[in-house]
Amino acid sequence: MAGNKRPVALFRNLNAKIAALPMITTVLVVFIGCTLWTVVYSFTSSRALPMLNFVGFDQYTRLFGASRWAISIKNIAIYGCLSLVFSLVVGFVLAVLMDQKIRFENTFRTIFLYPFALSFIVTGLVWQWILNPLGIQKVVRDLGFESFNLSLLTDRNLVIYAILIAGLWQGTGLIMALMLAGLRNIDEEIWKAARVDGIPTWKTYVFIVIPMMRPVFATALVLIATGIVKLYDLVVAMTNGGPGISSEVPAKYVYDFMFGWANLGQGLAASTVMLATVLIILVPWMMLGGRPNKGKANG
Amino acid sequence: MRYHLIAALSASAAFAGASFAQAADLEVTHWWTSGGEAAAVKILAEEFNKLGGGDKWVDGAIGGSGNAARPIIVSRILGGNPMGATQLNHGRQAEELVQGGLMTDLTELAEKEGWASFIRPKSLLESCTFEGKLYCVPLNIHSWDWMWTNPDAYKQAGVEPPKNWEEFVAAAPKLKEKGIVPLATGDGWQVSGMFNVLTASLGGKDLYIKVNKDKDSEALRGPEFKKVIQALADARSMADPGYVGRSWNEATNMVMTGKAGGQIMGDWAQGEFTAAGKVAGKDYDCLPGLGDHPVVESGGDAIYFPKNKDPEVTKAQLKLASMLVSKQTQVAFNLAKGSMPIRGDIDMATASSCMKKGIEILKNPDNVIPSGDQLRAPDTQGQVESLMGEFFSNPDMSVDDMQERFAEIMESAH
């Protein structure tokens, strides 16, 4: 056959390519197609039903003029930064403590990982009860501290931290488990070598172990970051955005306008801005993140 | 159980044999879940099942407030999985679903039974009408413009129970001294609803219409309207911090048990008082129009019938529609729910003194104002609700700031 000498690139690994077709179609239609649809309709004045009457940047002007959106952005920034830092730090420290060959390690691991088995809705409700004036506050007051005041949920400046606490309680266990697996993967010989060289333990962790755990940190980072962007159900269960609009988040803005208040255009504009923000952070990170893997393959 | 099943089977078989028709299960979605509401919806279900023919009421209660339920209802209809019938507030919530041809046309039935001759006020049917055709059945009239007070709470604090908003504000410090919350409320729609009541009751019907319907810039930025916003600022200082996340019936319960002095809430709160066995005039007082301007809103609940493919469902829908406006259903349902009936020709002698006050006010068309749902699209409602929430939770936000931003929202409303 003519093609025998120079097989067409398209037909190389044909089976694998056929097997990948459904996924490729899904990506093209569902992810890229729907994303394009979202962006296009964010420039229309669609209300309950999608309609193609373009209004330019009107939806975006309104979006950036809305104080509710500004509050949502501020909240997600606070929640995002703090949840990223605390999840990684607390998760890593817990994993290190757990790695000291302690007794009952299994028990502790189970306890720390358990909250992750609960949905955000349950987490939110539990913490709402705990932080409710009849929860911790009442217990401490009954112990005799009459003036004790814990108004996290009703104080509009503090409410986002209450959500942060609940979020960390739920998610840190998983990060800890990941980190622990990473620590266990470090070769025992490296520890021995470090000890022979007389390097203090903390230095070994910071300068040797952590750089070696880079892939684990990358995984943890992705998990935490998607959790931040998705933040919705925890807020709905805990405060429903209140007091007033003090604990609103972008995902809730999108949902409320699209489904609750029948303004598709406004909701889609907000979700387009969310997508753009994620891309702005993600693209440079992926470009940077690509390099070490290549380096590894070469070395 | 088994006998019931056999009986039901043989009954439906007999019926099918007689008329070659099958009975339909009619799923009805609604968000009537509090004590008084659940009692009222049970009456509807029983009445419908009693009609015979084998049609069955399948209850599709959705928990949470209307804000939680509406998205579910609307997306089911849009997604091609319509229920048999659904509650919505009459007004602009279903506007686009009707435009999209997703609702069953009830015009023929309404003309045959002469609905226009007994349903009052006229605006009820008007807000169900689109391009000359009728698409929903008004079920009741719910008026927001009420304040519910507990006279005992005021006696405890050593003041006269208030007869209007001004006295209510003046008595607040005395109540606070006794550890009683002057104003019980929740957040979200409860605050924006309260603001509408303040507009109509303190500003009067003219201001209410100018602000909400005409979206008149001068009125929106004027001194009269500023007083209304000042009243909301007063309300802000009278509420307790626990209002966050509180549902309306919890707030009503605070008034009932004397933990709070009063609550501004629609007449559905009356259903809670009735369900708890409280007597109007003795255990609680009601001030229509906050005792200042007696007005009632002509909003309320309506039942919409999304188009279904199954002709049996359509038949059952029309049967339910006809039942909902019937005299018997209107009396029983509204007594349980504490709302006012949509027809003026029925005997409401057993109603409480509060409801009779409301029916009396309703007789004069000058006292009737359109509801917020009738005047504002959900999009505007949402923006207003966000703004109210921000103002109510932030004591630093000034009245002027609020007035300016409210005016901006109304001026850009479609």
- DSSP for B308-368, written as a single string: -S-HHHHHHHHHHHHHHTSHHHHHHHHHHHT-B-SBSSS--TTS-HHHHHHHHHHHSGGGE
Q: How far from the centroid of its chain's Cα atoms is residue B142's Cα?
A: 4
Q: Are residues B192 and B128 in the same domain?
A: no
Residue B77 located in a structural domain = yes
Q: In the sheet that B136-138 helps form, which strands lie side by side, from edge to edge?
A: B56-61, B25-30, B85-89, B301-304, B136-138
Residue A149 located in a structural domain = yes
Give dist(CA B98, CA A290) in Å, integer: 53
Q: Are residues B105 and B176 in the same domain?
A: no
Q: Decide if A242 and B75 are in contact by the 8 Å CB cutoff.
A: no
Asked if B119 and B138 count as a contact pair (C-beta separation under 8 A), the reply is yes
Residue A298 located in a structural domain = no
Q: For the residues B300-327, what does the mean pLDDT come to?
A: 91
CB distance from A128 to chain B under 8 Å? yes
**Over the stretch B73-112, which tens digit does the pLDDT of each residue have?**
988 998 889 999 999 887 677 888 888 889 999 999 999 9
Asked if B56 and B15 count as a contact pair (C-beta separation under 8 A), the reply is no
Q: What is the mean pLDDT of chain B?
A: 87
Q: Decide if B245 and A239 are in contact by the 8 Å CB cutoff.
A: yes
Q: What is the pLDDT of residue A145?
A: 83
Residue type, A119: S
Q: Which residues of B358-396 are buried (b: 16+ CB within 10 A; e: fewer)?
A: bbebbeeeebbbbbbbbbbbbbbbbbbbbbbbbbbbbee
**Strand (E) or helix (H) holding B287:** strand B285-288
Q: Are residues B251 and B388 in the same domain?
A: yes
Q: Which among B73, B384, B386 is the top mutation candidate for probing chain A, defined by the most A β-carbons within 10 Å of its own β-carbon?
A: B386
Q: Quick one: what percent of chain B has pLDDT higher than 90?
A: 50
CB distance from B79 to chain A under 8 Å? no
CB distance from A267 to chain B under 8 Å? no
Q: Are residues B170 and B66 in the same domain?
A: no
- Kindly report which listed range (A186-190, A265-269, B320-324, B362-366) carries the lowest average pLDDT score: B362-366
Q: Are residues B83 and B152 in the same domain?
A: no
Residue A293 located in a structural domain = no
Q: Are residues B171 and B273 in the same domain?
A: yes
CATH assignment at residue A149: 1.10.3720.10
Our count of domains for chain B comes to: 2
Residues 222 to 251 of A: which have CB under 8 A from any B CB?
A: 239-246
Residue B310 located in a structural domain = yes
Q: What is the pLDDT of residue A7?
A: 63
Q: Decide if A243 and B389 are in contact by the 8 Å CB cutoff.
A: yes
Residue A270 located in a structural domain = no
Picking from B78, B87, B85, the residue whose alpha carbon sits closest to that of residue B24 is B85
Which of A66, A246, A263 lies closest to B393 in CB terms? A246
**Strand (E) or helix (H) holding B260:** strand B260-264
Asked if B24 and B15 count as a contact pair (C-beta separation under 8 A), the reply is no
Our count of domains for chain A comes to: 1
Give dist(CA A56, CA B229) in Å, integer: 34
Asked if B131 and B95 count as a contact pair (C-beta separation under 8 A), the reply is no
Residue A92 located in a structural domain = yes
Instruction: Please give the DSSP secondary-structure letter assigned to residue B211.
Output: I
Asked if B199 and B207 count as a contact pair (C-beta separation under 8 A), the reply is yes
Q: For the residues B398-411, what does the mean pLDDT come to?
A: 93
- On the question of pLDDT at B346 being above 80, the answer is yes
Strand partners, B26: B57
Q: Which among B93, B390, B394 is the top mutation candidate for probing chain A, defined by the most A β-carbons within 10 Å of its own β-carbon?
A: B390
**Over the stretch A117-143, which tens digit does the pLDDT of each residue have?**
999 999 999 998 888 877 788 888 888
Q: Decide if A244 and B75 are in contact by the 8 Å CB cutoff.
A: no
Q: Are residues B180 and B307 in the same domain?
A: no
CA distances for A58 relative to A65, A138, A266, B394, angstroms: 11, 49, 9, 29
Give dist(CA A105, CA A89) in Å, integer: 20
Strand partners, B141: B340
Give dist(CA B140, CA B395) in Å, integer: 37
Residue B96 located in a structural domain = yes
Q: What is the pLDDT of residue A4?
A: 56
Q: How far is A245 from chain B (nearest CA, A)?
A: 5
Q: Are residues B135 and B245 in the same domain?
A: no
Residue B16 located in a structural domain = no
Q: How far is B244 from chain A (nearest CA, A)?
A: 5
**A102 lies in which domain range?**
74-255
- Helix/strand/coil (H/E/C) assignment for every residue in B125-179: HHCCEECCEECEEECCEECCCEEEECHHHHHHHCCCCCCCHHHHHHHHHHHHHCC
**B79 lies in which domain range?**
23-142+299-358
Indicate the residue among B358, B386, B403 that finishes a domain. Answer: B358
Asked if A252 and A269 count as a contact pair (C-beta separation under 8 A), the reply is no
**Over the stretch A282-297, which tens digit does the pLDDT of each residue have?**
888 777 765 444 444 4
Q: Confidence class of residue A6 from pLDDT cuts 50, 70 and 90?
A: low
Which of B95, B242, B388 lies closest to A154 in CB terms? B242
Picking from B103, B31, B28, B27, the residue whose alpha carbon sits closest to that of residue B67 is B31
Q: Say how many residues make up chain A.
A: 299
**Over the stretch A76-118, which tens digit does the pLDDT of each residue have?**
999 999 999 999 999 999 999 998 888 888 898 889 989 999 9
Q: Confidence class of residue A17 from pLDDT cuts 50, 70 and 90?
A: confident
| A146: its two tokens | 């009459």
Asked if A246 and B396 count as a contact pair (C-beta separation under 8 A), the reply is no
Residue A33 located in a structural domain = no
Picking from B135, B228, B247, the residue whose alpha carbon sits closest to that of residue B187 is B247
Expressed in angstroms, the distance from the first to the final Cα of chain B is 55
Q: Quick one: what percent of chain A has pLDDT higher than 70?
A: 94
Q: Are residues B165 and B230 in the same domain?
A: yes
Q: Are residues B311 and B402 in the same domain?
A: no
Q: What is the pLDDT of residue B21?
A: 47
B78 chain-A contacts, CB cut-off 8 A? 48-49
Q: Which among A245, A248, A254, A264 is the top mutation candidate for probing chain B, defined by the most B β-carbons within 10 Å of its own β-carbon?
A: A245
- Helix/strand/coil (H/E/C) assignment for every residue in B46-96: HHHHHCCCCCEEEEEECCCCHHHHHHHHHHHHHCCCCCCEEEEECCCCCHH
Residues 6+ apart with CB under 8 A from B145: B197, B200, B201, B266, B288, B289, B290, B295, B296, B297
The nearest alpha carbon in chain B to A240 belongs to: B245
Residues 36 to 95 of A: which have CB under 8 A from any B CB?
A: 47-49, 62, 66-68, 71
**Over the stretch A18-29, which tens digit does the pLDDT of each residue have?**
999 999 999 888
Q: What is the pLDDT of residue A5?
A: 60
Q: What is the pLDDT of residue A133?
A: 76
| A230: its two tokens | 């998705």
Residue B365 located in a structural domain = no
Q: Confidence class of residue B344 from pLDDT cuts 50, 70 and 90?
A: confident
Q: What is the pLDDT of residue B70?
A: 87
Q: Are residues B274 and B388 in the same domain?
A: yes
Residue with tokens 């998705």: A230
Q: For the residues B167-182, what does the mean pLDDT come to?
A: 93
ipTM above 0.90, yes or no: no
Q: What is the pLDDT of residue A78?
A: 96
Q: What is the pLDDT of residue A147?
A: 80
Q: In the sheet that B146-149 helps form, which strands lie side by side, from edge to edge?
A: B181-183, B260-264, B146-149, B285-288
Q: What is the pLDDT of residue B19?
A: 39
B254 chain-A contacts, CB cut-off 8 A? none
Q: Decide if A49 and B78 are in contact by the 8 Å CB cutoff.
A: yes
**Strand (E) or helix (H) holding A202:** helix A201-203
Q: Are residues B264 and B192 in the same domain?
A: yes
Q: What is the mean pLDDT of chain A?
A: 87
Residues 235 to 294 of B: which have CB under 8 A from any A CB?
A: 241-245
Residue B367 located in a structural domain = no
Q: Decide if B245 and A133 are in contact by the 8 Å CB cutoff.
A: no
B187 chain-A contacts, CB cut-off 8 A? 240, 242-244
Residue A275 located in a structural domain = no
Q: What is the pLDDT of residue B68?
A: 81
Our CA dihedral for B8, B12, B17, B23, rounded to 10 degrees, sits at 180
Expressed in angstroms, the distance from the first to the final Cα of chain A is 41
Asked if A124 and A166 count as a contact pair (C-beta separation under 8 A), the reply is yes
Q: Confidence class of residue A274 from pLDDT cuts 50, 70 and 90?
A: very high
Picking from B137, B38, B127, the residue whose alpha carbon sits closest to that of residue B85 is B137
Residue B123 located in a structural domain = yes
A66 chain-B contacts, CB cut-off 8 A? 383, 386
B394 chain-A contacts, CB cut-off 8 A? 156, 244, 246
Q: For the residues A263-285, what does the mean pLDDT come to?
A: 90
Give dist(CA B371, CA A46) in Å, integer: 25
Q: Decide if B96 and A246 are in contact by the 8 Å CB cutoff.
A: no
- Please count the residue pairs, one from chain A and one from chain B, whose beta carbons lie less than 8 angstroms apart: 93
Residue B2 located in a structural domain = no
Residue A208 located in a structural domain = yes
**Over the stretch A178-208, which tens digit does the pLDDT of each residue have?**
999 999 998 889 999 999 999 999 999 999 9
CATH assignment at residue B113: 3.40.190.10
- On the question of pLDDT at A234 being above 60, the answer is yes
